[in-house]
Structure 1
Amino acid sequence: MKRCMAKSRRRLVYPAVGVILAMSATWSDFAHADEGGVSYWLPGRFGSLAAAPTVPGWSMAEVYYHTSVSASGAAAAAREITIGRIPASVNVNVNLNLSAQGDLVFLNPTYTFASPVLGGQFAIGVTGLFGRSAADLSGTLTKSLGPVFITQTGSISDSITSVGDLYPQATLKWNAGAHNFMTYVTGDVPVGAYSPTRLANLGIGHGAIDGGGGYTYFNPETGHEFSAVAGFTYNFKNPDTRYQSGIDFHLDWGASQFLSKQFFVGLVGYAYQQVTDDFGQNPILGNFRSRVLGVGPQVGFLFPVGDMQGYLNLKGYGEFDAANRPSGWNTWLTFSLSPVAPTGTATPTRRIVTK
């Protein structure tokens, strides 16, 4: 009976949690590193059970994402340079502060194939977003033109409500008992609201491709779980600004403890580090390599929705040790629907029963 319950729990957890945490997502142009302090990759998009196989068929994940970040120094100056307020040929001393907020909704339909591919489970999906971003930039610029110095003080505010870029993704996952492995490829299709002269955008203005791999340990008998996914982003040149961001490395992780078949608590975190220099940046910015770390709590709950399985998750990150990028905090509220695993054990998987 214990073995049957263990199998049932695995089927209950994997379909719902794996769908959303393997989803493709990114966010608005005010947010992170590289050109103007903005990156394609959204740290935290993978988490607990990311590499665990799911139930074949269609699934849908929806995420409400809120963030509040700020920056000063080079990260703030980069935004003013990007929107053309600081000419590249002028020597400038800057004392700037940037603050930004975002409220976004991500939609991620995914199809998981039943037939194995290279011995693993293959899935494809695409993520779109809609929402609002707002940013404020204030401070003082001191420009030097030979022996002449000009000081300017002021502020710029901008906001936008629109749609963002599209983010296709493909994953391939393998299971070996408590051990699960994954490889993935994703990228940015730059079709969202973007202008190089705007302070706030919902697109990044250039294409990108990202790939990597992950691992999940999950023991359904003890409820112990740990996942980590690492990857690299290659950024293409922005055709509007002729700027090309460097290559980025990212690591997302999650650890959880299932207190019942329906409920778990845990921690999440990420590390983000740009590993090569940007091309086309203003000389006052230097190589402009970015970095940030984040960590925070998470809680998840699984429940039946008709013939489907529902999943709710709330997680939050506080950021620290940032360089050349805005930092602050962000929260994710996730709801997903996925197929229920076929009944093949003594405990029906459609009826979730607590311990």
Structure 2
Amino acid sequence: MATSISNFRTNCAGRMGMFASSIVLLCCSHPTESAERGLSSYLPAYYGDFAVAIAPKPGFYAYATYYGYEANFKPQGAVGKLDLNVSAFITGFQYVFPEKLANISFAVGGYTAIIDARLHGVLSTQDGSLTVEQNKIQHGDTSISPLIMYWSSGNWHVNVYEAVFLPTGTFDAADSLNLSRNYFSFDTVAALTWLDRQSGLEVSLVPGLMMNTQNEATNYLTGPEFHIDAMVNVFLAKNFALGLHGYAYMQIAGDELNGQNVPSSLSRSNGIGPSLLWVPDTAGVNGKVVAKWLHDLDGENRFQGDIFSLTGVVQF
């Protein structure tokens, strides 16, 4: 089933969440209010692909990802929309330790990203009109997972980790387009995989709960966020699989500005799309290639659009 590296990007995903999903703070009639509701440190459909909770073989894994995002945002109470176009290039790693404790495997990982983003559009409110046209190419925020754990029993596999999002990118509260969230996020994630190696059928769930600190530049606090990714995959051959992946996201508490609740700040979204796994049959190389497309079906107070990603992973 080529599972030795098939879940590698899943755990990097928790660490990668902010690189593109935290791209914009939108300026409206009240810049700090509508802005931070559009995006979060959670990146839809990036928390799993194939055999997500199965421990990779011990060793060092390096990956490179192209991530494209085409989406728009329609704030409540405004006429018009803002369009977001993103091309991000991510490099990261994961190291799986050879030692085990009580049948538990351990790993660490991290990533960095270069982001090319364009925000453009026109919004009108009762307070006036706003035209936005900005483009930036910058280094994004950083994410690490200092402790990743795997456990398996028969066809069942569990993966638990904490993703810590660090605001290492550049932020300007007066700017319409920012490639950093400018706050810390802590995402507690538990992935569950059922894989029947005889039939090649896999079902995985990856729920997580994200807590955020306050953006000190805007005094804005994004409320707690619940998210879950779901995957149904079929391995048609040892080195080839197809999947149908989906996600659901919702805030479970509203945002705060200057310590006061922000009305109508709860956000939600969901989407679905296909994915493909190919494990190159090259002598001496343990790697994989994953392609994915995800389309947002519904949402509120969120950017909505299409995600395209292509990832290559190599074990050293």
TM-score by length of 2: 0.90
Offset at 1:95? 2.0
Distance 1:304 1:194, change over 3 A: farther
The number of aligned residues is: 302
Higher relative contact order (CA 8 A, sep 6+): 1
| Residue of structure 1 in register with 2:314 after alignment | 337
Residue in structure 2 matching 1:165, options 119, 141, 166: 141
Which residue of 1 is the match for residue 285 of structure 2?
Answer: 308
Deviation for aligned residue 1:118: 4.6
Deviation at 1:130, TM superposition (A): 0.6
Shift of 1:20: 1.6
Larger radius of gyration: 1
**Whole-angstrom CA distance in 1 between matches of 2:260 and 2:185:** 24
Q: 1:194–1:205: 8 Å Cα contact kept in structure 2?
A: yes
**What is the aligned counterpart of 1:119 among 103, 125, 150?**
103
AA aligned opposite 1:206: Y
Checking the alignment, whether the CA contact within 8 Å between 1:31 and 1:39 is kept in structure 2 is no
Contact 1:55 1:338 in 2 (8 A): no
* Number of the residue aligned with 1:14: 3
Gaps of 5+ in 1: 1-8, 75-92, 144-151, 340-355
**TM-superposed deviation, 1:107:** 1.3
Shift of 1:46: 1.8
The structure-2 alpha-carbon separation of the partners of 1:31 and 1:273, relative to structure 1 and needing over 3 Å to count, comes to: farther
Deviation per CA, 1:271-328, whole angstroms, max 9, x where unpaired? 1000011010799961411100010011110024452312011111110220011101
More helix by proportion, 1 or 2? 1
**What does 1:18-33 align with in structure 2 at a 5 Å threshold?**
18-23=7-12, 24-26=15-17, 27-28=19-20, 29-30=22-23
Secondary structure, counterpart of 1:196 in structure 2? coil
Match of 2:64 in 1: 62
Partner of 2:52: 50
Once the two structures are superposed, the pairs formed by residues 222-237 of structure 1 within 5 Å of their partners are: 222-237=199-214
| Paired residues for 1:87-236 under 5 Å | 94-143=78-127, 152-169=128-145, 170-236=147-213
2:5 partner SS: helix
Q: What amino acid is the match of 1:250?
A: H
For 1:165-190, what per-residue CA distance to the aligned partner results, in whole angstroms no more than 9, with x for missing partners?
A: 11001310111121101111001110
Which deviates further from its counterpart, 22-31 or 308-317? 22-31
The secondary structure found in structure 1 opposite 2:170 is coil
CA contact (8 A) 1:19 1:338 kept: no
Give distance in 1, aligned partners of 2:164 and 2:290. 25
Deviation sequence 1:33-72 (CA, Å, 0-9, x none): 9824120111112223110111101001111100111121
Question: Partners of 1:61 and 1:252 in 2: how far apart?
Answer: 21
Q: Which amino acid aligns with 1:41?
A: Y
Over 3 Å counting, the alpha-carbon distance change for 1:281 and 1:66 in structure 2 is farther
Instruction: Measure how far apart 1:102 and its partner are.
Output: 0.3
Check conservation: 1:30, 1:199, Cα contact below 8 A: no
Bigger drift between 186-195 and 227-236 goes to: 186-195
Higher strand share: 2
Name the CA distance, whole Å, in 1 between partners of 2:220 and 2:39.
Answer: 12
**What is the TM-score when the length of structure 1 is the normalising length?**
0.80
Distance 1:68 1:284, change over 3 A: farther
- Check the 8 A contact 2:24/2:177 in 1, yes or no: no
What is the distance in 1 between the residues matched to 2:24 and 2:303?
Answer: 6
Is the Cα–Cα contact under 8 Å of residues 74 and 81 in structure 2 kept in the other structure?
Answer: yes
How far apart, in 2, do the equivalents of 1:22 and 1:229 lie?
Answer: 10
Cα pair 2:24 2:179 within 8 Å, conserved:
no
Matches within 5 A, 1:269-280: 269-280=246-257
Gaps of 5+ in 2: 26-33
| Matched position secondary structure for 2:53 | coil
For 2:95 and 2:258, the matched residues in 1 are separated by: 40
CA distance in 1, matches of 2:196, 2:152: 12
SS in 1 for 2:175: coil
Kindly state the Cα deviation for residue 30 of structure 1 after the two structures are TM-superposed. Answer: 3.7
Q: Percent identity?
A: 22
Contact 1:15 1:338 survives alignment (8 Å) = no
Aligned residue for 2:3, secondary structure, equals helix
| Residue aligning to 2:276 | 299
Residues in 2 aligned to 1:194 and 1:73: alpha-carbon distance in whole angstroms: 22
C-alpha contact 2:24 2:178 (8 A) present in aligned 1: no
